[in-house]
Amino acid sequence: MAKKFKLPEGKIVRTIEGGPGSLKKLLLDLKKYSFDGYVSTSMEQTDATTEGYVVIKAGKPHTFLHISKDDQTRGEESLKKIWADSYRKGCVIKLHAKVEVEALTNLIEKGEEKRDPRFQELEEKMEAWKSDGYLVTELETSLMGDIERAEESFADYEERITRLEEIKEKLKSLETEKFKLDIEEIESRLNDPASLREIEGDIVILEDRISMEKEKPTEEAAEAEAEPEPEVEIEEETEVAEKDVDTKADEVYEMILRHRSKTGELDAEMPSDEEMERDERTNLIPHFVFDSFVVGPSNRFAYAACLAVARTPYKAYNPLFVTSGPGLGKTHLISAIGNFIVEKNPKGNVLYLTTESFSNAYKQAVKDGTLNEFRKLYRNVDVFLLDDAQFLEGRMDVQEELFQ
């Protein structure tokens, strides 16, 4: 068989059995959605396995490769062979997403024979990590580019693995029965180096929760045991949920106060955002993301809490209140929450506003008699991010409208 291509698997989003019309129907579906990725076919023969690859750009077949026992075929001739294989019931057809289409096209057109031999060393290292259980999709994509960039990606990946191994040992020392489920959830993600920053944020939050638990006075526990539990009426489920939210908000505020008491705050000047580029739909600042935020001793808890909210917007710290002196990154962090959510769910209804903008919109709605439309707009938002909350002081009408 001709030399086997090492193409990135990406994310397999569909697997179907071959048969008359199977590939044609799949390609027609992809055209509707302007899909980017590739389709692979695999057909076991008596003496070997034939493989086919169809690169899809914006929903249209673009580049083709067919590999048989003796040769590799490209272009229209290879498409005919792929088509013939796809008609057989023994053929397995897979749809691959999350790959760099341009790099994949270049690799297929040039052929592996012209690749730098250093790629082989990287592929062997990647296979070793893969056998250890680590996710390597990110690395597969880097192998399609130039060797220097690929080596940088592998070096960064190796550093992440080292850090994940350190976290794994750290979690063993944190094990407590009360936080067992939290620890197990973090451990379940330790095979994904791409999630390192999220994991580090979760570790910070977990350490703070454990610290708070240890600092609780033992007298409280003794008094709780001694006092008989008062009889209370069964509350409605919605009331219980509201109390849970209030309790969590109090816990977060307490953590913030404790954290600020341990770390001093430096005065800083607010950067001017008069010419700041914003997304039209969400009003977010696109380049304010978690990866560009500089984490230090004075802001690591705020960073971790914001990251937790971004990952689970309806569960973690809802609502979340971020406080600090001017120019220390509050706008950056709340914008990062929104950008993270939109990246994971492009259809998510996220809106960022300053308190001044919200207040002006409210006053205009009152003046125009369009309060119903105003309320409908904001109540249909999935995630509402409000900046400069200090300007709510003294505006009771705006506060009342906001909290309803």
Question: 141-150, 192-201, 266-275: which has the minimum mean pLDDT?
Answer: 266-275
- Determine contact, residues 39/108, Cβ cutoff 8 Å: no
Our CA angle for 164, 168, 174, nearest 5°, is: 135
Asked if the model's pLDDT at residue 363 lies above 80, the reply is yes
Query: CB within 8 A of 21, min separation 6: which ones?
Result: none
Q: Element (H or E) spanning 160, and its range?
A: helix 147-174
Q: How far is 228 from 215, CA to CA, in rounded Å?
A: 24
Percent of the chain with pLDDT over 90: 22
CA distances from 354 to 27, 141, 159, 390 (A): 46, 39, 39, 10
What size, in residues, is the chain? 404
Give the pLDDT of residue 284.
Answer: 92
269: its two tokens:
């000047």
Q: The pTM is what?
A: 0.43
Q: 399 vs 352, which has greater pLDDT?
A: 352
Convert the pLDDT of each residue in 207-236 to its tens digit: 777 877 776 665 455 555 555 544 544 445
Q: What are the structure tokens assigned to 247, written together?
A: 């309790």
Residue 295 has pLDDT above 60, yes or no: yes
The CATH number of the structural domain formed by 247-259+277-403 is 3.40.50.300
CA 10/CA 142 separation, integer angstroms: 11
5-40 tens-digit pLDDT: 567 777 888 999 999 989 999 998 888 878 888 999
CA pair distance 52, 38, nearest whole angstrom: 10
Closest CA to 2 of 66, 76, 58: 66
Alpha-carbon dihedral angle through residues 392, 251, 378, 344, given to the nearest 10 degrees: 130
- Asked if residues 93 and 39 have their Cβ atoms less than 8 Å apart, the reply is yes
The pLDDT tens digits for 100-110 are 788 778 778 76
C-alpha separations of 148 from 8, 118, 157, 173 in Å: 18, 10, 14, 39
CB-hemisphere CA count at 13 Å for 262? 12
115-167 residue pLDDT tens: 677 888 888 898 899 889 998 877 877 776 678 888 888 998 999 999 999 99
| Helical ranges in 8-114 per DSSP H | 22-32, 75-86, 101-110
Tell whether the model's pLDDT for residue 59 goes beyond 80: yes
Dist CA 2 CA 51 (whole Å): 11
Phi first, then psi: give them for residue 289, nearest 5 degrees. Answer: -125, 165
pLDDT over 50 at 271, yes or no? no
Q: Look over the chain and give the mean of its residue pLDDT values, rounded to a whole number.
A: 80
Range with the lowest mean pLDDT among 16-20, 281-285, 398-402? Answer: 398-402
Query: Is the per-residue pLDDT at 305 higher than 70?
Result: yes
Domain boundaries, the chain: 11-113, 131-219, 247-259+277-403
> Beta partners for 387?
354
pLDDT reading at 186 higher than 60: yes
Q: What are phi and psi of 322, to 5 degrees?
A: -110, 125
